[in-house]
């Protein structure tokens, strides 16, 4: 009895002790949890707050809308239109095969879409969406929207795609935009281009990239675990790029292109008063819209392999021997330097030889022009007169003077990709060929042949300088830029310099001579009673003839025919347009190139193209 009671007591004590120990264990275990919580919630609170913030807040760039481009009359030349594409974030998709099959039941997916998808899929970064379809139609968009919830990781993306409503007409002057490539990525400010897909690749689009692009905006959004945007927390809107207003007149541009017809060639027309580019055409052209979203391999190959080289911008990159078109400039150099006078004559027997040499430099007129003064030399384009003048002037003075007109250097036009041509000098020859300069070469330069190369743009600028009596103005395509919200368009500053040599009366003599070229000289066929034109024809050799050969176009293949050139400005007394035309393998400048220039000047000065369009409109 006693022991049972003792046992009971001992047992009660035992269990009570165990309960006490258990309580202590419980308290220490919960203390361990609390220590852990102190660590997480107090010590590392900031660290986890940042992680939590990173989880839910994503910063999205808001790309600015690219500036639009208008011609002189306010016609829209470069527009942005919304385009919807369907993108897949592969990391978010459970079964890609199944998703693609499902999508194909909703919207059309062509084999080339799949091919592009596969190609881009391999190059993408993690969690970077890959487009499966571009340019969704309205009905496809609607169909996908209804079923969108079934497609986790598939999203519609809206973006603004550049379009060029005038296509081929503006391809060489405006250029085009395209997807940013790796070299460009290394060059641009990545922050400002976050979210931007396109960048100017050529032409005005490239030259004015900074104005057209604008400032990127940002928005902070709250997203859930599946990446869906719940709400916008904060946003800084983007600033759209500036709209550009051009000097370019699309009607004139069209007239120039039509005037060139099927011929390969280029036209550059500028306003000599301000350097504004009125028309800049390289023929044939191409559709710049093909390049915006990435041109297909087949289309690109076709453009590259065409013998007409439609991608080649002849107006600013084509380098041709300027031929006789430079004779007025050389003539001015002669007058200004006192090497010749108005009255001094040179006898042209049809050829010219340097003293002590038997080699005959031929005049284009085999029978010779007889006695020629400066004006006659220009009007008749007598080669012998200019052989003699160049010979007496020497290469150093000749090339220095011609360089003053802008030859041998880029004009600085706001069209990307311009080339500078070549103004040969003694130094240039030593440097590139390690040879001395031969006097015979000076003669060739004097008539714009040999290694002397100029672009149609340079010829137009030099012609405008004559029209301005010595004022050389940098050509500009863009007249003004307008920032969004700004009331006033800011004019582009003029960049110009005066040619050092040449007095006013000397310039006037040269202008008079060029007027006579049209009135009764090599370009008389384009004479018009409506206004006075000052011009100069040129024919540049592609094929060198031997000493005793004659040039016979009928017997030569077309690609060896001479290039036809013509430079002009009008009206003579109040020049409003200066123009350079080149027709590759077009033959004589007077016959092939001058009429093209006349049509353009008519269109500009008389508005005949516009009048004709109005008539057609009324008739239809």
Of 70, 138, 191, 226, the one binding another protein by CB under 8 A: 226
Among the listed ranges 20-28, 198-206, 263-271, 335-343, the one in contact with another protein (CB under 8 A) is 20-28
- CB nearer to another protein: give 36 or 558: 36
- What span, in angstroms and rounded, lies between the C-alpha atoms of 584 and 592? 10
- What span, in angstroms and rounded, lies between the C-alpha atoms of 303 and 295? 10
Q: What is the 3-state secondary structure (H, E, C) of 372-384?
A: ECHHHHHHHCCHH
Minimum Å gap between C-beta 226 and another protein is 7
Site string for another protein, 470-499 (x = CB under 8 A): ------------------------------
- Spatial neighbors of 544 by CB under 8 A, at least 6 apart, are none
Distances (CA, A) of 58 to 64, 65, 130: 19, 22, 19
Q: Does 233 bind another protein (CB under 8 A)?
A: no
Of 22, 145, 233, 553, the one binding another protein by CB under 8 A: 22
- Spatial neighbors of 448 by CB under 8 A, at least 6 apart, are 321, 322, 323, 324, 325, 326, 327, 454, 538, 540
- What span, in angstroms and rounded, lies between the C-alpha atoms of 589 and 580? 11
Minimum Å gap between C-beta 123 and another protein is 22
Site string for another protein, 32-51 (x = CB under 8 A): xxx-xxx-xxx-xx-xxx-x
CB atoms within 10 A of CB 163: 15
Minimum Å gap between C-beta 20 and another protein is 8
Cβ–Cβ under 8 Å, residues 70 and 77: yes
According to DSSP, residue 444 is labeled H
Q: Does 145 bind another protein (CB under 8 A)?
A: no
- CB nearer to another protein: give 17 or 508: 17
Minimum Å gap between C-beta 184 and another protein is 33
Cβ–Cβ under 8 Å, residues 245 and 482: yes
Minimum Å gap between C-beta 18 and another protein is 5
- CB nearer to another protein: give 11 or 615: 11
- CB nearer to another protein: give 92 or 524: 92
**How would DSSP label each residue in 574-604?**
S--EEEEEEETT---IIIIIHHHHHHHHIII
132 sits in which H/E element: strand 130-133
Query: Within positions 164 to 223, which residues make up the interface with another protein, using CB under 8 A?
Result: 222-223
235 is catalytic: no
Minimum Å gap between C-beta 36 and another protein is 5
Q: Does 27 bind another protein (CB under 8 A)?
A: yes
Annotated active-site residue in 282, 285, 324, 540: 324
- CB nearer to another protein: give 32 or 553: 32
According to DSSP, residue 492 is labeled P
Of 6, 9, 23, 490, the one binding another protein by CB under 8 A: 23
- What span, in angstroms and rounded, lies between the C-alpha atoms of 527 and 53? 78
Closest CA to 266 of 601, 4, 565: 565
Of 6, 9, 56, 357, the one binding another protein by CB under 8 A: 56
Q: Does 125 bind another protein (CB under 8 A)?
A: no
Minimum Å gap between C-beta 171 and another protein is 48
Q: Does 16 bind another protein (CB under 8 A)?
A: yes
- What span, in angstroms and rounded, lies between the C-alpha atoms of 480 and 413? 14
- Point out the residues that are catalytic: 324
Per CB under 8 A, residues contacting another protein are 7, 11, 14-20, 22-23, 26-27, 29-30, 32-34, 36-38, 40-42, 44-45, 47-49, 51-53, 55-56, 222-226, 230
């Amino acid at each position: 009895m006693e022991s049972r009671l003792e046992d009971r007591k001992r047992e009660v004590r035992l269990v009570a002790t165990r309960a006490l120990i258990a309580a202590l264990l419980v308290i220490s275990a919960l203390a361990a949890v609390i220590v852990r919580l102190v660590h997480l919630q107090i010590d590392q609170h900031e660290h986890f707050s940042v992680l939590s913030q990173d989880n839910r807040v994503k910063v999205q760039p808001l790309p600015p809308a690219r500036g639009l481009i208008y011609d002189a009359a306010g016609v829209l030349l470069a527009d942005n239109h919304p385009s919807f594409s369907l993108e897949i974030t592969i990391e978010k998709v459970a079964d890609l095969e199944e998703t693609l099959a499902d999508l194909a039941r909703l919207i059309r997916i062509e084999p080339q879409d799949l091919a592009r998808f596969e190609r881009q899929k391999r190059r993408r970064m993690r969690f970077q969406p890959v487009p499966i379809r571009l340019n969704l139609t309205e009905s496809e968009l609607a169909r996908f929207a209804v079923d969108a919830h079934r497609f986790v990781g598939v999203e519609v993306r809206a973006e603004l795609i550049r379009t060029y409503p005038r296509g081929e007409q503006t391809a060489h002057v405006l250029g085009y935009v395209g997807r940013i490539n790796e070299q460009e990525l290394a060059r641009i400010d990545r922050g400002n281009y976050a979210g931007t897909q396109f960048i100017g690749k050529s032409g005005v689009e490239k030259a004015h990239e900074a104005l057209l692009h604008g400032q990127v905006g940002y928005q902070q959004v709250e997203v859930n675990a599946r990446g869906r945007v719940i709400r916008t927390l904060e946003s800084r809107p983007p600033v759209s790029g500036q709209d550009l207003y051009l000097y370019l007149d699309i009607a004139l541009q069209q007239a120039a292109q039509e005037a060139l017809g099927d011929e390969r060639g280029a036209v550059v027309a500028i306003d000599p008063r301000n350097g504004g580019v009125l028309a800049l055409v390289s023929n044939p052209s191409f559709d710049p819209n093909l390049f915006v979203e990435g041109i297909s391999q087949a289309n690109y190959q076709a453009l590259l392999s065409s013998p007409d080289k439609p991608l080649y911008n002849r107006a600013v990159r084509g380098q041709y021997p300027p031929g006789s078109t430079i004779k007025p400039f050389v003539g001015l150099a002669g007058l200004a330097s006192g090497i010749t006078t108005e009255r001094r004559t040179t006898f042209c027997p049809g050829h010219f030889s340097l003293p002590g040499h038997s080699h005959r430099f031929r005049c284009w007129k085999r029978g010779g022009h007889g006695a020629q003064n400066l004006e006659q030399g220009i009007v008749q384009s007598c080669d012998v007169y200019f052989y003699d003048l160049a010979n007496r002037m020497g290469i150093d003075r000749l090339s220095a003077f011609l360089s003053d007109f802008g030859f041998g250097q880029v004009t600085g036009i706001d069209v990307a990709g311009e080339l500078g041509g070549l103004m040969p000098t003694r130094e240039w020859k030593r440097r590139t060929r390690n040879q001395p300069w031969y006097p015979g070469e000076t003669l060739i330069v004097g008539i714009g042949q040999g290694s002397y190369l100029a672009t149609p743009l340079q010829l137009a600028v030099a012609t405008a300088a004559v029209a301005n009596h010595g004022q050389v103005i940098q050509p500009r395509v863009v007249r003004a830029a307008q920032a969004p919200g700004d009331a006033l368009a800011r004019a582009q500053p003029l960049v110009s310099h005066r040619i050092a040599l040449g007095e006013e009366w000397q310039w006037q003599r040269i202008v008079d001579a060029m007027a006579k070229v049209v009135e009764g000289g090599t370009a008389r066929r384009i004479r018009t009673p409506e206004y006075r034109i000052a011009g100069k024809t040129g024919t540049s050799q592609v094929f060198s003839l031997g000493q005793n050969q004659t040039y016979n176009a009928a017997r030569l293949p077309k690609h060896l025919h001479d290039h036809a050139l013509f430079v002009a400005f009008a009206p003579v007394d109040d020049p409003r347009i200066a123009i350079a035309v080149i027709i590759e393998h077009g033959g004589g400048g007077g016959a092939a190139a001058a009429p093209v220039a006349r049509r353009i000047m008519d269109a500009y000065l008389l508005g005949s193209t516009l009048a004709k369009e109005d008539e057609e409109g009324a008739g239809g």
